[in-house]
Structures are given as C-alpha cells and as structure tokens.
Structure 1
Amino acid sequence: MTMNEFDAEVVVVGAGPAGSAIGAYLAQAGHEVIILEKSGFPRDKICGDALTPRAVKEAGYLGMELPESDGWHRNKGLRLIGGGHRLELDWPEIDGTPNYGVTRPRMSMDEAFARHAQRSGARLFEQVRAMSPDIGDDGWIRGVHASGTDHRGRRVGPEAHFRAPIVIAADGVSSRLAVSMGLEKRDDRPMGIAARAYHTTPRHADDYVESWVEMRSTNAAGESETLPGYGWIFPLGDGTVNIGAGLLDSSPQFKSVDLRGMMNQWIADMGHEWGIDETTSLGPIKSAALPMAFNRTPHFHRGLLLVGDSGGMVNPFNGEGIDYALESARIAAEVISTYSRYPQAVMRRRLEEYPALLGDSLGGYFTLGRVFASIIGHPALMQFGIKYGMGVDVVMEFVVKLLANLYRDPKVSEADLIDRIISALTRIVPATSNV
C-alpha cells in the first residue's frame, strides 16, 4: 500500500483550543499549516466548559466572536461558597480585558475553534492519529507518521506521512508525541484530577459561575463533614449546567478518594439549590487529569513545541486550562511566524525564544500556584483560610483576582494595591517555564 505524503511548514498534532488556535494564527500569517485530530467533530472533552475573561480576551486576539446566538452563554462573575459564606463577585474591570466570561459545552466549543482554524486557512485532517515522530539523522523531528482512525479513535488506516520542519504537540495531558520525543511529565509539579457531569436545571441561565471552595456533606450519623477538593457549577444557558469536582495531589486523600462518589454525595446534599438530582443527570460522571504549572518541559525540544495541556499549562489556582492553551498558542505562533523562514540553523536557535517568552508570561504566576497547591494540601490551613478569609471583602477581592489571574500590570496601566501585590508576588518567584 502506498503511503500518503503531505508537506507543510508546520504540522500541529491535536485540534483542541491550543492546536486550533496556533493553526489559525499561523494560517492567518500566510503559513502552510496542517492540523491532525484523532477524533471527528463534534467530540467531547472532560472539562469545566468555561472561558474566564482572560480566555475571552485571547479568543478576541484570535479573531473569534463569541455571540450568545451561537451558544456562548455569558456570565458576569463568580459566586464563592464556603465557611458559611456566599459571595457574588463580579469579574474585575481591567483595561483591555472583557468584564465577562462565557460557557459552552466542549462538544461544540472545540469544534468552533477548529472550524475557525479552517476558515483561517489551516488544513484540518479529522480522524487521523499521529502514531510516531519522524526523526532525522540529526535527532530533530521533521514530521509525523499517522494513521486513519474510526469513530472510536481506533487505528484503521490508511497510513500517512506528514512532513514539516516544525511540529506542534497539542495532543493533551498524555501527549504521546512529546513522550515519544523523550519528554515525560515532571513529578515536582502539582497534578489535579477532575470529574464532571451534565444536568438539566431551571437555573441554566444563571449570571454567575459557582465555585464551592468548601464541600460539605452529611454522614450516616447526621453530622456535617468536609469533603476533600472543590466543586463547580457552570450554567450553560441551554437548559443544562456543567457540574464537577476537583482534587489536587497535594491533598492527603488524593490516592484514596472516590471522586465520583464524592461528587454524588455533594450533589445529593446541595442539589436542591439548583433543582438537580439523579433524575436530572444527562449521562455518566467522567474524570480526567489536570496537568498543572508546566509539568512537562522543555517546551521546545529538537523541533517540537509544546502548547496547552501537552506542556502542563493548567492554572494550579483554579484548574483552568483553555486560557493558557490559547495564550501559549499565540506566543508560539509569534515566534514561529518570525523565524520559520530563516535559514535552518538560525531558525532552530531562534525557536528557543518560545520557552523563555512563555516563562516570562506565565512562569512566575505558575510558580506561585505551586506554593498555593502545597498550602491547600494541608486541611487545617485551608479551613482556617476559608473560615476567616471569606468574611473580609478586601481578602476576597484579592483571592478572585489571584485565582483568575485577573489583575492590572502596574507597568502598563493604573493599578490598585491588590494589583500591585499580586504583580510583585509573581515577579519575586522564578519566572521561567523550565524550573
């Protein structure tokens, strides 16, 4: 059987938000780009289905519009519940950043990003799985060997060879491509696990996304007890909500907790607030890993650039990944577009700027997040902070800005004391993607 051969300037493996975004950016800049997606659209992704204002801003850079008529449901802030407190906090007003977030089921959200990449000029191959890297004699990647897949993602052929001097790993938390190039995940980074399900609810159009920083349940003796982890409820505006729970590996219960059981218990105790129970469920609870704080490095390695989850770009503060998928794609695209047509030796050397720029942008904040992940792994400290912090307005303003990474940079805009404190904290910790 003759193998199909395809050539491009850049091959992107994975058509989630990160892969579709970098494909769109490069195509818009006039580059020949191929994106490979092992599944066919529409396809699901286990996630919270929410874009914070930072992610909405990144979608704007990409040239995407997010109208409610296309299924993007707007929210105006965050409702925090814990320690006997219930706070509704609007997203902060920051110049250049929208003051709203949006939600949309990943089943259609990811396809929206992928189709935008196609309209921008990228060639999208659906149901094509990258099986292995094509590595030259000099040890640098020069493309991927791939195979067709069926609707379940199983390899069925035909085989194909996609060649390019630059390859992007946007294939998620497991990143088979990165692993095959010798890039394993780092054990000195926090890892999370999250479970989510969809329910119908009369409150599907609520104006706030909801976060339970303290999840409590009633045990067999009728006593209230704290459940490990945190919970979320994201209204989708289509008659449903995305409801989920997450846990960090810094928690002492990480290896032993039944996350699905914990979530069912939480829903049973709080579901009356949203009109949800076992009868409103639209499917099983599904779970996935959350790779945090640059848990796979370096982000450029012998012609391979890592973006999004493949490079561990999930926020340790809140489990958000789409924002950082889009941001890393933008930074990588800028470097590639600048240097991809230089002589090979110069291009390869200049692409090393990508991890440095990524570290400058996110390194300090993610390092701060690693400290946060370590602290909340101590239940007593977490309970103390919830009990006494949630009743103080200025503390909660600080928390929301820090957790959502929404603060003014004092170097470029007018900033208040909270903005200055967060900015200072991110500067005094190591700001590199590789430490």
Structure 2
Amino acid sequence: MSTPAGGPSRQADVIVVGAGPAGATTAYYLAKAGLDVLAVEKSKFPREKVCGDGLTPRATREIECMGLPTTYERGWRRNKGLRLIGGGHSLEMPWPDVSAFPNYGLVRTRLGFDAELAAHAERAGARLLQQHAVTAPIVDEKTGRVSGVRVRETDDAGRKTGPEADFRAPVVVAADGISARMALALGLEKRDDRPMGVAVRTYFTSPRHDDDWLESWVEIRAKGTAGHPGPVLPGYGWVFGVGDGTSNVGLGILNSSKQFGKVDYRRVLRDWTDSTPEAWGFRPENQVGRVRGAALPMAFNRTPHYVPGMLLVGDSAGMVNPFNGEGIAYAMEAGRIAADTIAQAFTRRPAMNADRELAAYPDRIKTAWGSYFTLGRGFVQVIGRPALMALGIKYGMSSRTLMRFVVKLLANLTEDPRHRRDGYDRVIHALDRLVPATSNQ
C-alpha cells in the first residue's frame, strides 16, 4: 500500500525515515501506542538488502515480541545454533538456554522479511509511504529543531521524480540505514574511533539449503604468495540455508587489520567457495544473482543519537554488534526503545518535559549495550592481529568449553543478572562492569 502524497497525510505525530527492520519496528510500536506514525520508504517492497539472512535468538525474541508469524509455510526456517569451522575442527554449538530468549534462531531472506515486517507495522495502524525518498530534514530556523522532512517520489529504478513535498511532525526518527542521509544533513559524521566492517554475499542453489545450523567459518584468509597461505582475516565466512533451494553464502571482514581496504573481498569469497566440496554447489554455474556488498557500521559509530526533534535508530546510528556483525537484533531493539521513549514524551506536558524525555533516549541505548560494545571494540583490535587470530583459532576451536563461552559472548545471549546464572554469565557480566560504557552522546 502506498499512502497518497497529499492533504492531511503530510502531517503526523511521528515520521519514520526508512521502513527496514529499524524503521518498521519503530513504526509498529508507535502505532500500537496510538500515535499517528508515517513511515517513508524510498523503495517498493519487496526489495533486496545485503545481509546474511540469519537471525540469532536475540533477533528472534524481537520478532516474537511483535507477534509476527514465523512459520515454515511463510518462508521461515528455524536453526539450532552455530556450526563453527576452523583450525581443523567443526563444532556444533546449540544456542544457549537463556530465560529471556528463545533457544532457536531463524533464517529468512531480507526480500521477504522486510516486506512482512513493514506490512505488520501497517496492520498495527502505521501509514506506509513507499517509493518516496527523503531528501533532507526540515529544521525550524528559530529553534534549530527538526520538524519534518522533505520528500520526492521515486520510480521503479529508484530515480527521484516530481516536485518536493514537505511532511511535518514534532518528532522524526532517522532509520535510513548506512546512508544516514538525515544525520549527515545535520552534520553528524561517522566516528573514526569506532570499528567498521564490510560484508559480501551471494546465493547458490545447493543441497545444503535445508541445513538447520548457521555455519560460521572462522578461518578466512587473504590470498597468499605461491605455496604460502595468506594472513587470517578478522572476520568469518558463513553458509546459511534459506530452505528454498538456495544457501546464502558470504563473509564479513573488520577494518582492524592492515589488509582492510587492500583486499578484493569478492575475490576472497570466490577463492573460499571454490575450496569447498563441489557437491555443495558453491560454484559460478550455480550462483543466483550477483555478489553484493555493504558496510557494517559498528559500536555507535555515529553520535549523538538524539538531536532536538530527531532520534537515530539502527545502522544510521552504528548499532551493529562488533563481535559478530549482527545488526537486525539491535535495530529492532532500538526501534522498540525509541518508540517507548517517544510515546512517553507524548504524555508529558509542558513541551519542555517532552523534550527531556526524548533526550533520555541515548542514555537508554547506552545502558542497554554501551559496556558490551566497549568490550566488542577491544575484541576487534585483538582479532585484527593475524598472529593472535591464528592462535585463537588453533587453541580455541579445540575446546568446546571455551567455545560455549565465546558463543554466548559474541551473540550477547546471557542470563539477566537478577536471575540464576552459570559461570559463563558471571564472567561476561563482570567484564561488563569493568569496562566503561561506549559513549553514544
């Protein structure tokens, strides 16, 4: 459905820029809270996004909280946990049993997932305006407050067409992904002291399409000289069975090594897939679609997360987990937190109290993941050293006990400190208390 760009629809309580997982989740919760929310999406659903399509229990919890059906008949597949491959070992590590999270993950292509999530927000009462690109925020000249957005229609090819139109709302949510056009228009540049990654992926028709484990290859190497392997790259390759006859195959690499920016990641992907068993089908003749790539903005790499009248949610704010490159879970959690913050602000009078409520949003996000993201920044620096990365793979992969701890840490799946915890949880929570929370101000 596409709301007509005219009349009273140009005014809303909240305008959400972008209807991916961050924006659609925000719009859903705002609509459930009874607010008039307009989500503006530059593309038309369904549309493709670069992603591994694998969802951990953390993301699965957010989907379940929204009541979005995730049945096999609707294209969803459950997974049991991680199969880790490296150093001559293959370990199947079930997702940990944690009271706050389901004990399974999901796989769903972004082509279908994003469309379903946006439609779910519509059913909750959100208005969805597709094929409309936000070109700039509208800033009140007197107060400096964001008070709306400027919009142009787009055609099927994504080209902007027609005249600009102004849409107004007392609150705007920037959920416009890695482009972060809204934030950039307000001078919010990315932070160079935060890690970045790059992901490349494609699909192959493969007999492995129905694998019920998320497979992670932790020993991905750059191309070496004749007879010598290249250095281990800080990142991992993945094989996620989609269940439709294809597997999503890709890799994610961090910027903490000297090789970052000097390596042809598409070539690394090709060399790796060529080294896999031919029976798996990861060969050019079985490839479905081209290799696509995207940046991974991590650990709050764009701040502050609130400026008067506008909140940043998801990739636009660098809310990607630096431990594992997961972004959807944090985009959806941030959307839920942002919507709750905005809903609370709408109950506050006078207006200064509402602004005070909105200004608390960065602290709520910082409380949720600030210390964890600080730990992640340290992890990124360690694995950026090829020798340390190689040692970690050699000795870590030989210990199932250690890898159980690693899975809990990397996927951020620990028991609430108020509940009974195992030794792994106590160590992780102790580390959280010892490190300062990453600033997102």
Pick the TM interval, shorter chain.
Answer: over 0.9
CA distance in structure 2 between the partners assigned to 1:213 and 1:201 by the alignment = 21
Given that 2:299 and 2:438 are in contact with CA atoms closer than 8 Å, whether structure 1 keeps it comes out as no
AA paired with 2:332? L
State the shift of 1:432 in Å: 4.6
Give a deviation string over 1:70-95, Cα, whole Å, max 9, x none: 00111101000111111001001111
The count of corresponding residues between Structure 1 and Structure 2 is: 433
Map of 2:34 onto structure 1: 30
Aligned pair partner of 2:344 in 315, 338, 346: 338
Map of 1:209 onto structure 2: 214
Out of 68-77 and 151-160, give the one that drifted further.
151-160
Secondary structure at 1:153 match in 2? coil
AA paired with 2:336? R
Given that 1:214 and 1:226 are in contact with CA atoms closer than 8 Å, whether structure 2 keeps it comes out as no
Secondary structure at 2:288 match in 1? coil
Give a deviation string over 1:161-202, Cα, whole Å, max 9, x none: 111010000000121011111211111000001100011101
AA paired with 2:88? G
State the shift of 1:16 in Å: 0.2
State the shift of 1:410 in Å: 2.6
Residue 159 to residue 3, structure 1, CA distance change in 2 (3 Å) = farther
Aligned pair partner of 1:55 in 54, 59, 66: 59
AA paired with 2:364? L
Aligned pair partner of 1:128 in 129, 132, 145: 132
Secondary structure at 2:420 match in 1? coil
TM-score by length of 2: 0.95
Aligned pair partner of 2:413 in 406, 424, 427: 406
Q: Does 1:358 align with 2:370?
A: no
Aligned pairs (5 A) from 1:243-254? 243-254=249-260
Residue 159 to residue 218, structure 1, CA distance change in 2 (3 Å) = closer
Map of 1:378 onto structure 2: 385
Give a deviation string over 1:117-151, Cα, whole Å, max 9, x none: 10000000000011111111200000001000011
State the shift of 1:108 in Å: 1.0
Map of 2:311 onto structure 1: 305
CA distance in structure 2 between the partners assigned to 1:230 and 1:272 by the alignment = 21
AA paired with 1:290? L
CA distance in structure 2 between the partners assigned to 1:217 and 1:290 by the alignment = 19
Residue identity (%)? 53
Give a deviation string over 1:244-293, Cα, whole Å, max 9, x none: 11111101100100000110000001153623211110011111100000
Name structure 2 gaps, 5 residues minimum.
Answer: none
Map of 2:288 onto structure 1: 282
CA distance in structure 2 between the partners assigned to 1:371 and 1:219 by the alignment = 27
CA distance in structure 2 between the partners assigned to 1:218 and 1:303 by the alignment = 48
TM-score by length of 1: 0.96
Q: Does 1:183 align with 2:188?
A: yes
Aligned pair partner of 1:107 in 111, 118, 130: 111
Out of 225-234 and 193-202, give the one that drifted further.
225-234
Q: Does 1:13 align with 2:20?
A: no
State the shift of 1:4 in Å: 5.8
Aligned pair partner of 1:98 in 89, 95, 102: 102
Give a deviation string over 1:49-73, Cα, whole Å, max 9, x none: 1111010101112222211110011
Residue 284 to residue 353, structure 1, CA distance change in 2 (3 Å) = same
Secondary structure at 1:131 match in 2? strand
Map of 2:178 onto structure 1: 173
CA distance in structure 1 between the partners assigned to 2:131 and 2:60 by the alignment = 28
Map of 1:78 onto structure 2: 82
AA paired with 1:393? R
Aligned pair partner of 2:374 in 367, 370, 376: 367
Residue 257 to residue 344, structure 1, CA distance change in 2 (3 Å) = same
CA distance in structure 2 between the partners assigned to 1:431 and 1:70 by the alignment = 39
Given that 1:3 and 1:159 are in contact with CA atoms closer than 8 Å, whether structure 2 keeps it comes out as no
Aligned pair partner of 1:259 in 247, 250, 265: 265
Give a deviation string over 1:332-364, Cα, whole Å, max 9, x none: 111111112423221111111111010000111
CA distance in structure 1 between the partners assigned to 2:433 and 2:120 by the alignment = 35
Q: Does 1:230 align with 2:236?
A: yes
CA distance in structure 2 between the partners assigned to 1:273 and 1:298 by the alignment = 49
CA distance in structure 2 between the partners assigned to 1:152 and 1:430 by the alignment = 45
AA paired with 2:14? V
Map of 1:396 onto structure 2: 403
Map of 2:148 onto structure 1: 143
State the shift of 1:433 in Å: 4.0
State the shift of 1:417 in Å: 0.5
AA paired with 1:285? V
Residue 381 to residue 432, structure 1, CA distance change in 2 (3 Å) = closer
Q: Does 1:162 align with 2:161?
A: no
Residue 225 to residue 361, structure 1, CA distance change in 2 (3 Å) = same
Secondary structure at 1:184 match in 2? coil
CA distance in structure 2 between the partners assigned to 1:44 and 1:426 by the alignment = 36
